[in-house]
Amino acid sequence: MTAPEALSKPAPAAPASWRDGLAVYLQPRVLIVMLLGFSSGLPLALSGSTLQVWMKEAGVDLGTIGLLALIGTPYTLKFLWAPLVDAIHVPLFTRWLGRRRGWLVFAQLLLIATILLLAVSDPARTPAFAAFAALLVAAASSTQDIVVDAFRVESLPESEQAAGMASYVAAYRIGMLVSTAGALFIVSGFESAGLVRGSAWMWGYVVMAALIVIGTITALAATEPQQSIDAEAATHAESAINRVVLAAGGAFIEFLSRKDAFAALAFVVLFKFTDAFSGTMTAPFVIDIGFSKVDYAAIVKGVGLAATLIGGFAGGFVARRYPLATSLWIGGLLQAVANLSFSWLALVGVNQWALALAITAENFTSAIGTVIFVAYLSALCRNPLHTATQYALLTALSAVGRTYLSSGAGFVAKTVGWPVFFAICMLVAIPSLILLAWLQRRGHFDELGPVRV
Each residue's pLDDT expressed in tens, for the chain with a length of 453 residues = 433 333 333 444 444 455 555 676 778 888 999 999 999 999 988 988 788 888 888 888 767 776 776 787 888 788 888 888 888 888 899 889 998 999 999 999 999 999 999 999 988 888 889 999 999 999 999 999 999 988 988 888 877 777 787 888 888 878 887 888 788 888 888 988 989 888 999 999 999 999 999 999 999 999 998 888 887 777 776 776 777 777 777 777 778 888 898 999 999 989 998 988 887 778 778 878 888 766 766 776 678 778 888 888 888 888 878 888 999 999 999 999 999 999 999 999 888 899 899 989 988 998 899 889 988 988 888 777 777 788 888 877 787 766 567 767 888 888 899 999 999 999 999 999 999 999 999 999 987 754 333
Provide the strand spans (E) within 344-408: none
| Crossing angle between the packed helical segments 99-119 and 213-221, to the nearest 10 degrees | 170
d(CA 365, CA 278): 13
d(CA 142, CA 136): 10
Please give the Cα distance from 311 to 316 (Å, whole number).
9
Domains (range + CATH), the chain: 16-237 (1.20.1250.20), 259-452 (1.20.1250.20)
- The residues near 388 (Cβ < 8 Å, ≥ 6 apart) are 82, 83, 85, 86, 146, 147, 149, 150, 247
Is the separation of the CB atoms in 63 and 195 below 8 Å?
Answer: no
d(CA 379, CA 165): 12
6 three-state secondary structure: strand
Output the CA–CA distances (angstroms, integers) from residue 336 to 11, 203, 293, 330, 394, in the order listed. 25, 44, 26, 10, 22
pLDDT score of 300: 67
Helix (H) or strand (E) holding 102: helix 99-119
Instruction: Decide: 288 and 347 in contact? Cβ < 8 Å.
Output: no
CA angle (78, 137, 191) in 5-degree steps: 150
How far apart are the C-alpha atoms of 232 and 243, rounded to whole Å? 10
Q: Are 274 and 424 in contact (CB under 8 A)?
A: no
How much is the pTM? 0.73
Q: How far apart are CA 85 and CA 97, in angstroms?
A: 14
How far apart, in whole angstroms, are the C-alpha atoms of residue 392 and residue 84? 12
Helix (H) or strand (E) holding 5: strand 5-6
Distance of CA 28 to the CA centre of its chain: 22
pLDDT of residue 237: 66
